[in-house]
Amino acid sequence: MQDGDEIQIALCVKLLFVGAEATAPLLLEERPLRLRLDKEARRVWVRGCEISPPLSLSQYRLLELLYDNEGRVCTRSEIIQAVWPDALEEGVSDQAIDALVRRLRERIRGIDPHHQYVVTVRGHGFRFENIS
């Protein structure tokens, strides 16, 4: 082997030969994503399949908020600000938020029924899980 030679093991590990004494693992990407957003086009793919017809504006706004804050709990107040920016917080009921979350889950579940992307954190809000 010579400096700069690469060894790839499956699709998850890439090793770069940098010298006889040291070989360091490099990731091809941080981790494979189950769900991917194209924010400019407002398109969503789940496991490589595009959601069609597209999500409603409110569903997309909710998903984008959760996606951008993956692993962190988003409160109901944050959801109201992201999804209904012109509404007064008191004017949006918990039932409206729950119904929106349920519809988003159903749309995603239509493509990937085996993974829960939107997790309810009882008493706190919702968290997005996109790991494979």
Instruction: Please tell me whether residue 45 adopts helix, strand or coil conformation.
Output: strand
Phi/psi zone of residue 101: left (φ > 0), alpha (ψ -120 to 50 degrees), beta? alpha
Instruction: List the domains of the chain with CATH numbers.
Output: 1-30 (no CATH), 35-128 (1.10.10.10)
- Give the pLDDT confidence of 84-95 residue by residue, as tens digits: 999 887 889 999
pLDDT attached to residue 33: 76
User: What's the pLDDT tens digit per position in 10-33?
Assistant: 545 555 556 656 555 555 555 567
Per-residue pLDDT tens digits of the chain, which is 132 residues long: 666 666 666 545 555 556 656 555 555 555 567 999 999 999 999 999 999 999 999 999 999 999 999 999 999 999 999 999 998 878 899 999 999 999 999 999 999 999 999 999 999 999 999 986
CA–CA gap between residue 12 and residue 104 (Å, rounded): 30
Q: What are the tokens at 90?
A: 């008191």
- What distance in Å separates the CA atoms of residue 82 and residue 7, rounded to the nearest whole number? 44
Whole-structure pTM value: 0.74
For 74, the token pair is 């988003």
